[in-house]
Amino acid sequence: MSSMAVAAVLLSVELFAVISSYQDGLFHDMHPFRRLKKLPSTTIGLDKARYADALQRFGPWLESHGIDRLPKLFAAVPEIHRTVALLAVFYGYVDVVRFLHEHETLSQDVNFVDLAASNGQLDVMVYLVESGRYDCAPTAIQAAAAFGRLEPVQYLVEGAHIQPKFLAIEDAAANGHLAVVKYLHDHLHDACTTDAMDRAAGNGHLEVVQFLHHRRREGCTFEAMNSAAKNGHFNVVQFLHEHRSEGCRATAMDMAAKGGHFDIVKFLHDHRSEGCTAFAMNSAAANGHLNIVQFLHTHRHEGCTAKAMNAAAKAGHLHVVQFLHKYRNEGCSTKAIDGAAEHGHTQVVQFLNENRPEGCTKQALDLAATNGHLDTVRYLLSHRNDGCTRRAMDFAATNGHFDIVVSLHEAGVKKCTTEAMDGAAENGHLDVLEYLYEHRREGASANAIVLAASNGHFECVKFLFERKFSEHNVCSAIVHAAERGHQDIVEYLTSHSTMSSMAFEMAAGMGLLNAVRMLDPMTLCEVPHAMDNAARSGHLNVVKWLHIHQKDGCTTDAMDQAARNGHLDVVEFLHTYHSEGATTRAMDGAARNGHLNIVQFLHTHRTEGRTKQALYDAYRYHHLDVVNYLQSLDPVE
């Protein structure tokens, strides 16, 4: 073929499209769709962010390629079909919806009418309804009402003749969609429930509450004022108090106090008789609302408990702690200093220590050290003698709080374990590792180097190796570093030890293919046990890789152990591609462990046979199916 003819073919859009359709793999423009997360199809709690993210990929693609490329997209990425349908319906791509409908590829298990209604896509909704193939139920009205989509609601009621249910007006009320509430009020034949006003009140929709109060008879419950108070909707609380008789419970003032809604607390105190509980002052103190604590102390009699000062201390509200200490007599417990220390509120710790008798526990120093609060640690070491547990040093070291480790050691803290150095190594805190080695005697465990190697902390690995903390675990360290791709660590450890072959075999036995690949070039001697180990544990992918890339093969142990452990796929592969074969231990072991399919395979395809032990063990371990099969065969001589 001449070069002119070749050029003519390749420059022809139609011919080139036909040629390229035979290529393997995925078209370049379709790659982004392989990473799309599945979209939810229900309108309840709809995750609009997920839809928006998917649209960012699909929208530009559709604009560039058009509807004609959709069949090719669906053929290449079948799982995208549902996502495209959902996006088209939700965002109003009527032409795409029409295409999917005409090709009968809109799934019947998704309520597309509801989805279109929820996002106000009237054109799509009308198309779907008038096609007569898609369910249109009161749930569509509810979906539209919940999102304030008045036009879809009107169409469904007047055009599709769907009778709205009470949940529609309740959802519209809850979300403050007054226009929808008014429309449904005029067209709803059923009564709604008190949930409508309760939910509207809780969300602060005063106009909706007023409308429901004046135009409907269902009313509300005490939850209306409770939830309005909780969420700080003063105008709603005031309206309900002046126009409704349901009232509230003590929960109203309790939750208003917790949320810092002082105006509501004062209003409820001045105008209502339900009062509150000790929870009000406790929670106000916990959240630092001093003005409310002061008001409740002055004007209410419910008081508080020790939880008030404990929680205020933990949250660092010194001014509240000081007020409670001065004016209240409930006091606190050791949880006050413990909690303040945990979060590094040194001033609170100091105030409580100097003014209160409760003290603290070992947890104070443990938690302050763990979380890296140096000032708090130093204060506790200087002014308290409660001590700490091993957690203080161990966790401070693990989290890399060098100055705290030093402070604890210099203060004479004796409680520490190998977890300190192990944790420092695991997280790459070389300075802590060096300090502990030089100043402490606990040392590290053999696992420290494995932890450091797994996470790629080269300097920590080197430090531990040079100081012989790794004599029994170098092999494991190499394997885990290789699996995680830390080649610098692998090269260092293999060049300073003779463990490369052993590590290779260990990696194979653990099924760590990445490690096997990395260690293969570094393994200079024969390693037939690598495939044996992989086969024993059923790692067929490793067995296949070794079969292709390694010339060392395996031993009869490979099939023997694979059979014993029930790995039929490995047994079949070794039988087909390897000549090492097996021994009678293969069928004996499979029989012992009840692997009938392997016993049958070995009898049918192999010649090694079995011993009398096979039947004996199958009977001993109650594998009756294996017993029956073996008894059906010729007896063993």
Closest CA to 264 of 250, 275, 253, 251: 253
Residue 182: alpha-carbon gap to chain centroid: 42
Q: Nearest 5°: phi and psi at 601?
A: -60, -45
Among the ranges given (129-138, 155-164, 415-424, 431-440), the one the predictor scored with the smallest mean pLDDT: 129-138
- pLDDT band for 44, please (50, 70, 90 cuts): confident
Q: pTM (2 decimals)? A: 0.81
C-beta of residue 348 within 8 angstroms of C-beta of residue 313 = yes
Q: How far apart are CA 28 and CA 197, in angstroms?
A: 54
Residue 219: alpha-carbon gap to chain centroid: 42
Long-range contacts of the stretch 465-470 (C-beta < 8 A, 24+): 465/492, 465/493, 465/496, 467/437, 469/421, 469/443, 469/444, 470/446
Q: Which amino acid is at 279?
A: F
Kindly state the average pLDDT of the residues 377-397.
97
Using the predicted structure, report yes or no on whether residue 1 has a pLDDT greater than 60: no
* pLDDT tens digits, one per residue of 245-284: 999 999 999 999 999 999 999 999 999 999 999 999 999 9
pLDDT at 525: 58
* pLDDT tens digits, one per residue of 200-255: 999 999 999 999 999 999 999 999 999 999 999 999 999 999 999 999 999 999 99
Q: How far apart are CA 206 and CA 178, in angstroms?
A: 10
User: In the predicted model, what is the mean pLDDT of the chain?
Assistant: 91
Closest CA to 470 of 502, 488, 434, 443: 443
Q: Sign of torsion, CA 334 340 343 347?
A: negative
CA quadruple 104, 105, 111, 116: dihedral, nearest 10: -90
* Contacts with 241 (C-beta within 8 Å, 6 or more apart), sequence order: 225, 267, 271, 272
* pLDDT tens digits, one per residue of 283-338: 999 999 999 999 999 999 999 999 999 999 999 999 999 999 999 999 999 999 99
The count of residues in the chain is 637
Domain boundaries, the chain: 29-144, 556-637
Q: Which amino acid is at 93?
A: Y
* pLDDT tens digits, one per residue of 593-632: 999 999 999 999 999 999 999 999 999 999 999 999 999 9
- The matching CATH number, chosen from 3.40.190.10, 3.80.10.10, 3.40.1190.10, 1.25.40.20, for 556-637 is 1.25.40.20
Q: How far apart are CA 20 and CA 3, in angstroms?
A: 19
Residue 40's alpha-carbon distances to 48, 83, 115, in angstroms, are: 10, 9, 10
Q: How far apart are CA 578 and CA 412, in angstroms?
A: 64
Q: Sign of torsion, CA 358 362 363 368?
A: positive
Q: How far apart are CA 402 and CA 214, in angstroms?
A: 67
Task: Name the range with the highest mean pLDDT among 82-91, 254-263, 529-538.
Answer: 254-263
